[in-house]
Structure 1
Amino acid sequence: MEWIFLGAAAFLAGVVDAVIGGGGMVQIPALFAVLPEALPATLFGTNKVASLAGTLGSGWRYARNLQVPWRIILPSMAAAFVASFIGAAVVSYIPADWLRKALPFILLALLGYTVFNKVGLEHLPRHTAGRATLIATTGSALIGFYDGIFGPGTGAFLKLLFVRGLGFDFLNASAPSKFINVASNLSAIGFFGVGGYVLWGLAAWMAVCNFLGGQVGSIIAIRFGSGFLRVALIVVVSALILKTFYDGYLV
């Protein structure tokens, strides 16, 4: 029964993550609710393995239907991979409480910008290839480091990097954000896996469910386009604001 519940949570997380990012806010609470005695690191590691399948699968589907700027994505993936591993390695040495308390206000600022500026509805890349690569790589490194240390909303942050920083619309920002997120997830999985912090059997089951959810979510996103994705981002970021405020100030 517990595996059925976690499978359903992983499927829903895959849908949410494929559409806009933020599937971890569904999957991580479900793991903590079902396995309260497990070490947090074990639950985070298991979540990363499950999320990787859905993120990679939805990225692949986006890549089949949209033009993918690999010249920008590949160096950004490398930057996110290295930065995420560093973030995971140093997380036990620096206090994350300040980040937990600041995060809802950072998300609120991003939400306000998205609501009032109508960004992401038109695909108008505005930089040369070299400058776009520099912006994407730098941003991916910062977000990858954040993913290694903390993580909630990484997919949404990556999508906003391409929308706000490079002038992409939400749909065309989907594939880059997914593949960069794959790189940061792989790095974190390496760290958690070497430390023995993954329940591999459960992770495999949740990965299958997350993958299926990611396929459904990416089909929905491609079908309804950037206008739908903008609304989805507003809904998901609003939920993240409430969740991170609760975690930072009320727990």
Structure 2
Amino acid sequence: MDRFTGKVAVITGAARGIGAATAERLAGEGARVVLLDLHGAADTAARIGPAATSIACDVTDQAAVEAAFAGLDAIDVLVNNAGITRDNLLFKLPKADWDAVLAVNLTGAFHCCQAAQRQMVRQRSGKIVSLSSRSALGNRGQANYAAAKAGIQALTATLAIELGPYGINVNAVAPGYIATEMTAATATRVGATPEEHQRSAAGRTPLGRVGRPEEVAAAIAFLASDDASYVSGQTLYINGGAR
């Protein structure tokens, strides 16, 4: 498929995990991909080749985001993937960790949406896909992350209303347990190996396994394509049927 030939896609948090897999998927379908990450995404760009550009950008810094987007002559797709965790139970959660998670996961997405929509409104077209999480429904030890990811769903629904008249689709995906460096870090936090943690999660999942970044990237690619031209304001859960 070449659903993104001639399109420019900006992916945040593109150095690894779901962001890197999404960049590779969209580039594989013809997109020119712009990879934003705190320290750049040179390794991802090298794997993709000439169709990829790596930019070091802190999404919590609005001026840095504005500068990164100002250099683009077109923005057809924005994928808000940048995210961090700082897990702890409420009574032990430092305010600094609350602030950091909200700043990256939610405010960072706001900064990028606001910057991208200027070009998309002029074009009267565009696709925005943001990363929520199953944790938006509540998850022990993740008050900050859950709040940020629930906020992504509300932001998505609102922007779909505001930007729809300009031909812009806004959606979100909410992954369950995906085997990434982030979930490996969660395993370490609770005193398990990544393999043990994955087996435990798989046992609670109807499909009997955890997800892969490439599977989330496939759903993002659908929502970012013209195949989803009448889908907007939605959050798609990608969790193997877990409840």
TM-score (ref. length: structure 1): 0.31
Name the structure with the higher helix share.
Answer: 1
Which structure has the higher relative contact order (CA within 8 Å, separation 6+)? 1
